[in-house]
Structure formats: C-alpha cells, structure tokens
Amino acid sequence: MPGSEWLKNRPRLLEGVYAGSKSALQLLYPLLKRVLPAAFTERVFVWSEEVSKGYLFNCQMCGQCILHSTGMTCPMNCPKNLRNGPCGGVRQNGHCEVIPEMPCVWVQAWRRDAQMGRYAGEIQLLQPPVNRALQNSSAWLNLLEGADAQPPSGWSTIELE
C-alpha cells in the first residue's frame, strides 16, 4: 500500500495539519471563490488531494473526508467500505478478513484515535451512509460548501424528535 507509515502512525501531527489547513482554507476560500472559476478550483483541488491524500492515506476520493473522526486512517481502504467499523471478520493477528496481508484499517483507526488530541473519541460517532454521488469530487471543497454534511433527509429524523 502506498503512503507513509511513519506519518500515519503520528495521528496527532496529522490532525494538527488538518485543523490548520481547515482554518486557512476557510479564511481563504471566499477570496478564492471570487477570483477563480469554479471548474478550475475543483480541478486543482481534486488533483492536489489525489497527490497529497493519496500519498498520506491511500485516499479513495470518496469526497466526504472523515479522517479526523477515524484516527486519521482512511476508512474507504476497508474492502467493505465500512464507515462504522471494524467488522466481525478481523483475523486474530489484527489483519483484514479480505486482504490477509493488510492490517485492518479499523483496528488501526481505533488505536490511532486514542492517540489523538482535539478529535480523540470522535471515532465513537455514528457516521451516516456515504453519498456515492460525491465520489471523485474534492472533499475540501465539499467541506467548505457544506456538501459533505448532508445525510439523506430521513437519516436525521430520529435526532429531531
């Protein structure tokens, strides 16, 4: 698997980078939106996410990044695409049921979540289903536009009670 194991095992450093990037982008985005054509911005973001997050997390470009809630470990690397893992098939050595030579991403995610600072414990949140329509779009832009946080309308009816 590509990506840097050394960095992956430092979730505290990675969450700092995430939080910093988020603040910076939220600050810059209104300006960016005014001066650059939307299609160009999308292309640049998609490309840079493919390169950076591809290297760091083996990002699958689901377009709705929840890395900071999953121990900075990409859940879309789970062959079953779980957003609320791990499944019951984890091997006794902590490896994946489907890919025996790969450590279970969800076992790693839970371990790394415990090492985190500001986002520690977020792994216990119930994550909504993946919006498959966002595949291959920019997760950063979806975050800035709020498009990544819109679960199906029936999903939230229980909280509204």
Residues that bind other proteins (CB under 8 A): 79-94, 97-98, 104, 107, 110-111, 124, 126-130, 132, 152-155, 157-158
* Minimum distance, C-beta of residue 109 to other proteins, in the bound complex (Å): 10
User: DSSP letter string over 85-151?
Assistant: ---TT--TTSB-SSSTTSBPHHHHHHHHHHH-STTTTGGGS-PPPP-GGGTTS-HHHHHHHTGGG--
What's the rounded Cα separation, in Å, for the pair 24 and 93? 40
- Which one, 39 or 93, has the nearer CB to other proteins? 93
- Which one, 1 or 98, has the nearer CB to other proteins? 98
* Minimum distance, C-beta of residue 17 to other proteins, in the bound complex (Å): 26
* Minimum distance, C-beta of residue 64 to other proteins, in the bound complex (Å): 14
